[in-house]
Homo-oligomer: A and B are copies of this chain.
Amino acid sequence: MSKIKETSTNFANKQALADECSEVYAANIIGGQWALVICSWLINGKLRFGELKKLLPNITERMLTLQLRKLEENKIITRTIYAEVPPRVEYELTPIGYELKAVIKQLESWGDKHKALDAANRSNMTKSH
């Protein structure tokens, strides 16, 4: 997205890590700011550009486009353009994209646990004061 510099140290590091660690490879794919939420929504079924925009009230059109394009490049979603005016474009998870469901669930449940723990810590801190 925008262009990345393939001669940078950062690029080399990312490549090397992704090559030897599938978990990092995976994280790179779903790692954009909005990528995970987009996938979460798409798990429930295909959505139009405008629908996604409504579901993600704070995203800019540019960001939405960029993230969708990246997901498409990585074969996580497909993009279907209907030859209509005004245009209609639908985004849908591919099979491998849909398999993110398990990953997302896992992330979600870990996140919940962590949040709970954090809340507990906070309230303990309050109590002991």
Contact = CB atoms under 8 A, between A and B. Distances in A.
Contacts of A96: 113-114, 117
Contacts of A23: 36, 40, 104, 107-108, 111
A61 interface: no
B112 A22 contact: yes
Contacts of A106: 102-103, 106
A37 interface: yes
Nearest to A60: B9
A64 interface: no
Nearest to A74: B114
A115 B21 CA distance: 11
5 contacts: A17-B33, A21-B36, A26-B108, A75-B114, A75-B121
Given A22-B107, A29-B114, 12 more contacts: A9-B58, A16-B58, A21-B37, A21-B108, A22-B111, A24-B36, A24-B37, A24-B111, A26-B108, A27-B31, A74-B114, A75-B121
